[in-house]
Chain A
Amino acid sequence: MIELSQVSKQFGDETAVDAINLKVAKGKFCALVGTSGCGKSTTLRMINRLIERSSGDILLDGQPIEAYDPVKLRRRIGYVIQSTGLFPHWTVARNIGLVPRLLKWSADDIQARVGELMSLLGLPLEEFAHKYPHQLSGGQAQRVGVARALAADPDILLMDEPFGALDPITRIKLQDELAALQARLHKTVVFVTHDMDEALKLADHLVVMREGQIVQQGTPLSLLQRPVDAFVESLLGGLERGLKQAALSRVKDHMSSLGPTLPSQYRIAADCSLRQALSVMLRDHADRLTVVDQHDVPIGELSLRRIVKEAQLEKGTSRDA
């Protein structure tokens, strides 16, 4: 668990981070979002003491971070950056094995761990272990970066725009893989990005920052439903907010059982997002879709009218609250 209270950082006269309070529960994925220079990266680096804060308290598992030797602290915290920061003179295997080596694991343990991580991140050992970073594509290099961060099995993972330099297709692929990885490993993650879609897709807890302050924080859904001001609303996509919200829920949570009416000829998988379902409706000019499971067997129906009615109901209850 990570806890920041009243944390500030000044660089000379500039205030980069201004009295922020933030709690990230164990095993949760927290995304810091904001425009460039809003203090999100500074916040991240204060957690592993690459930057020392000016005031306030940072607690890890209830202990103030001063209680730890900064070097030992960093060996317990995985760190991934946009430029990968891989060591160009070391092979992939050596890069991944760095922290275990610093922790003086035995050679056999290191080798086993490197093999395990490479298969976890889809890097075949024989093909990649002896390559150098400059022989990798951007996506492969960032996979190695993530593997290196996970090498000593840290509880906490700090990621600073890890996918920012990748092409859109690779980026989405790595986001999906990271989401799957997180579902298995349950690390406590603090993730910095300026890409709101990325944040909405991955985060349990979303933090919007501006000029060193936290403007709003909460679950992605709560931010989408009630942005606190125009800035947050514009970050969340303005008029497209409805679709972004739809992207957060699954088709299976909105379907109704197959009725007596003729099922629609257009199909959608139950695991797709509501946003994808709406897109299919627009593309195929259909206001009803048949929901199918992974074996293509119909299990329910999704109707536009029902979705709208649900949304009206939800709005009604939220107004009452």
Chain B
Amino acid sequence: MSLLDALPTPRLERGSYPNVVLVSLSAVMLAAIWGLDAVSMAPNRIVQGAGAGVMEALGWPGALLASLLVLALGTLAFRPNPTNYSAALGVVVLILALMPFGLMVAGHFLIDPALPQARLGIGAGYWVVLFVLLLCLIELRLRLALTRLWPMLILAGVGLLWWLCAWLWLGDLALVQEYRARDQQLIRAVGQHVVLVGVAVSISVVLGTLLALLMRRYARLQKGAFAVLNFLQTIPSLALFGLLLAPLAWLSANVPVLAELGVSGIGNTPALIALVAYSLLPMVRNTYIALEEVSADTLEAASAMGMRASQRFWQVRLPLALPVLLEGVRITTVQAIGLTAVAALIGAGGLGTFIFQGLGQAAMDMVLLGALPILILALMVDAALSALTEVLRPGGVQ
């Protein structure tokens, strides 16, 4: 979401020009509904599923309803004004809310009750429509000049509805079946993932801030430190995990204290080291820039009013740097959430386990089971830290 937040907010125009973005997005959705497989159906877990179009999946009343709703969205976008935008927002939310029920209908039509292993996969058409609807939501938020809170509330509500449907009625869905087979494992993996990310980010916030402060004091350090951090960033993550394997294994074999602390060639230690190494660059860079970019006039005024150096740092420089500094924490955290998935390869656990096991077993739904929580975690952290940054800008100061 953050990338799109960086775009300028277009002004609400009362002209009669159609909103090209929404019209095109509606066209893409129509094409996806009719051109791509809505769902797939497999008799058991291993066999490749057979795709089914919208007529097979939803029957003609369902296909008609879906098409009409999308057409309504496109039509509303032809005459853009606040009322129509609000109505369009309603249509988008309605489609999002109806989508799980569509899956139920598809399950009813396509799954043979005689086959207990049969399962329903979500098809390309469904994913595309879901993705395009999220784009519509962002466009509408900008047009209606809503705060960031609104799409979050809408998505939370829709997410809750999807969760309820999945819990109660969507037993046929492959994703749900994968979850039911491993719910304890998944919850544990989410916990591991969050702990790994949390510890790695905490360490890099402390280290990064210290490093940035040192760089401000000793100018010579700056070039060298940035060179090293930039270099670290270029090592592929898998290679870094591999590189850490040998030295850490040697250390744990030869230094008993470290072994007792849990240091070993695989597992949490190399994962944490690698995550911190990757997190340092964005953290240090943002902290350094944030502290350096505080206006010289403001700082001079602070001195001239008789603030001591420490008062000036804590009361003026740091609070003014905080929004940019938090931006660094946000980038670092979102990046770490993604990287931690790779750490599963060296036995650190986390949601990556599901992705790699799923890949190994050619069970794409299991991959999805690992990937979806990572996506949701990243979005939640992104939204929370963005909101915090906004709160810390008093009265909207830039």
- State the A residues within 8 Å of B (CB): 48, 50, 71-76, 79, 81, 83-90, 98-99, 102, 131-132, 134-135, 148
Q: Mark B290-312, 1 if CB is under 8 A from A, else 0.
A: 00000001101111111110010
Q: In the assembled complex, which residues on chain B have CB atoms less than 8 Å from the CB atom of A81?
A: 297, 300-301, 304
Interchain CB contact (< 8 A) of A99 among B306, B316, B396, B397? B306
Q: How far is the CA of A86 from the CA of B305 in the complex (A)?
A: 11
The 10 closest A-B pairs by CB, nearest first: A85-B301, A75-B306, A74-B306, A79-B304, A132-B395, A83-B297, A85-B297, A88-B397, A89-B319, A71-B306
Instruction: Assess whether B113 is interfacial by the CB under 8 Å rule.
Output: no
Contacts beyond the supplied A71-B306, A74-B306: 15 A-B pairs with Cβ under 8 Å: A50-B300, A50-B303, A74-B303, A74-B305, A76-B306, A81-B304, A84-B301, A85-B297, A86-B298, A87-B301, A87-B316, A88-B320, A99-B306, A132-B394, A132-B395
Task: Give the size range of B's interface with the partner.
Answer: 10 to 19
Candidate in A81, A85, A99, A134 with the most chain B CB atoms within 10 angstroms: A85
Q: How far is the CA of A193 from the CA of B303 in the complex (A)?
A: 22
Q: How far is the CA of A83 from the CA of B303 in the complex (A)?
A: 15
Closest Cβ of chain B to A47, distance in Å, is 11
Q: Mark B368-398, 1 if CB is under 8 A from A, else 0.
A: 0000000000000000000000000011110
Interchain CB contact (< 8 A) of B302 among A72, A75, A87? A87
Q: In the bound complex, do residue A74 and residue B297 qualify as a contact, i.e. CB atoms below 8 Å apart?
A: no
Interchain CB contact (< 8 A) of B397 among A48, A75, A132, A148? A132
- State the B residues within 8 Å of A (CB): 297-298, 300-308, 311, 316, 319-320, 394-397
Given contacts A87-B316, A89-B319, contact A74 B395 (CB under 8 A): no
Q: In the assembled complex, which residues on chain B have CB atoms less than 8 Å from the CB atom of A99?
A: 305-306
Q: Tally of A-B residue pairs with Cβ under 8 A?
A: 64
Q: In the assembled complex, which residues on chain A have CB atoms less than 8 Å from the CB atom of B306?
A: 71-76, 99, 102
Q: Could you jot down 28 A-B contacts, CB within 8 Å? A: A50-B300, A50-B303, A71-B306, A72-B306, A74-B303, A74-B305, A75-B305, A76-B306, A79-B301, A79-B304, A79-B305, A85-B297, A85-B300, A85-B302, A85-B304, A87-B298, A87-B302, A88-B298, A88-B394, A99-B305, A102-B305, A102-B306, A102-B307, A102-B311, A132-B394, A132-B397, A135-B395, A148-B305
Q: In the assembled complex, which residues on chain A have CB atoms less than 8 Å from the CB atom of B397?
A: 88-89, 132, 134
Q: How far is the CA of A148 from the CA of B304 in the complex (A)?
A: 11
Q: In the assembled complex, which residues on chain A have CB atoms less than 8 Å from the CB atom of B302?
A: 85, 87
Q: How far is the CA of A223 from the CA of B299 in the complex (A)?
A: 37
Q: In the assembled complex, which residues on chain A have CB atoms less than 8 Å from the CB atom of B311?
A: 102
Q: In the assembled complex, which residues on chain A have CB atoms less than 8 Å from the CB atom of B298?
A: 85-88
Closest Cβ of chain A to B389, distance in Å, is 13
Residue of B nearest to A48 (CB): B304
Residue of A nearest to B307 (CB): A102
Q: In the assembled complex, which residues on chain A have CB atoms less than 8 Å from the CB atom of B304?
A: 48, 50, 74, 79, 81, 85
Interchain CB contact (< 8 A) of B320 among A71, A89, A134? A89
Residue of A nearest to B304 (CB): A79
Closest Cβ of chain A to B222, distance in Å, is 23
Closest Cβ of chain A to B321, distance in Å, is 10
Q: In the assembled complex, which residues on chain B have CB atoms less than 8 Å from the CB atom of A132?
A: 394-395, 397
Candidate in A72, A83, A88, A148 with the most chain B CB atoms within 10 angstroms: A88
Residue of A nearest to B320 (CB): A89
